Amino acid sequence: NFMAGEGITFARNEDKPLACDVLIVDEASMIDIILFHHLLKALSFQSRLILIGDQDQLPSVGPGNVLKDLIASDYLPVVHLQTIFRQAEESLIVQNAHRINQGQMPIIDDNKRDFFFMEKDDPMEAAQLVTDLAAQRLPAFLNLADGEGVQVITPMRKGSIGVDSLNIALQERLNPRNKDKPAITKTGVSFSAGDKVMQIRNNYDKGIFNGDIGQIVEIDTENNQLIVEFQDGEGRHFVPYEESDLDELVLSYAITIHKSQGSEYPAVVIPLLTQHAIMLQRNLLYTGITRGKELVVIVGSKRALYMAVRNNDIAIRYTGLAERLQS
């Protein structure tokens, strides 16, 4: 219970505030109301807080809708950035992100080199195409090694174009199992050196956090241990995992769009079919498209794409923050 002071505590609070005059928080749409509460407690009254984010992306996993409520309150100064600068004027990724956010279908122009829609109505054919694109065709297009620089992001975990099935297919393609290759199996998932993995829980002892993506570099089958290499702005980190830690790791050749929020990749492949109809929403597609820096490829049916663009019926969150600020 965060509010009662139980469970996780924070090193900075009202008794030991952050030592800064200005604090800038990026990806502010991902902050839930509880974390924001503790962040404000850790700021002195003399500090200035600047939030940078996109209220049209997916809201926080936790309760609240902080960024959207702060903007809606009309209580704080807000700057909307709408100009597409020269270096992005020709980018279909940028243009289509704006179009989708306004409920318009994306422009498909094969003469452009950064945004493609590849029509596949059959789920198995779509899964095969996604695998081919991510494993070989797109890395070759970007002059990268097989599997590098490309992230598959999908609306759901289940189904033939879901995270679980695509991870198995991509693992078999990019890092196939064989009798001479050591592997550790945990909760039905086989891990081996070379596998792309993601941390799914914050681990403060290891300094690794939910959503961090790395690669297994070493396996010790006798002791059921492995080592994962993570990279961030400070360099490379080699993190050991005991058997008891392995439930914190999953394969990450494919991840959900929710998990991708806050990250960006040279290229993304987004499977989009009606079997994931419950998740086909405008803000989900918008979030997915804006993960790609150089290239976005949507694989699926035109009907599913239309459903996602048109569906702006986002689940209402009853928060009250905007009303409290207004009063």
Q: Are residues 252 and 139 in the same domain?
A: yes
**Is residue 222 classed as helix, strand or coil in its secondary structure?**
coil
Per-residue confidence (pLDDT) for residue 18, from 0 to 100: 94
pLDDT in tens, 52-110: 999 999 989 889 999 999 999 999 999 998 777 655 667 899 999 999 999 999 999 87
Q: Is pLDDT at 6 greater than 70 in this prediction?
A: no
Structural domain containing residue 108: 86-310
pLDDT in tens, 132-172: 999 999 999 999 887 889 999 999 999 999 999 999 999 99
Is 92 among the domain residues? yes
Q: Are residues 191 and 211 in the same domain?
A: yes
* Dihedral angle sign, alpha carbons of residues 121, 305, 27, 2: negative
In sequence order, what DSSP letters do the residues of 101-121 get, joined into one string? HTT-PPP--TTSSSEEEEE--
One domain for residues 109 and 228:
yes
Bridge partners for 50 per DSSP: 24
* Domain presence at residue 201: yes
Question: Which regions of 123-251 does DSSP assign to beta strands (E)?
Answer: 150-154, 183-186, 189-192, 196-199, 213-220, 225-232, 235-241, 249-251
In this structure, the answer to whether residues 77 and 97 fall within a common structural domain is: no
Q: State pLDDT tens for residues 113-142.
A: 899 999 999 999 999 999 999 999 999 999
Instruction: Say yes or no to pLDDT of 4 above 60.
Output: no
pLDDT tens track for 28-50: 999 999 999 999 999 999 999 99
Task: Give alpha helix (H) positions in the chain.
Answer: 33-41, 66-72, 92-101, 123-132, 138-141, 163-174, 257-260, 282-289, 302-310, 321-326
Q: How far is the C-alpha of 287 from the C-alpha of 264, rounded, in Å?
A: 10
The 10s digit of each residue's pLDDT in 225-273 is 999 999 887 889 999 999 889 999 999 999 999 999 989 999 999 999 9
Two tokens, residue 285: 């597609």
Number of domains in the chain: 2
The reply to whether 107 and 41 lie within a common domain is: no
Decide if 175 is inside a domain: yes
- CATH code for the domain of 202: 3.40.50.300
Structural domain includes residue 238? yes
Q: Is residue 11 part of a domain?
A: no
211 located within any domain: yes
Count of positions (residues) in the chain? 327
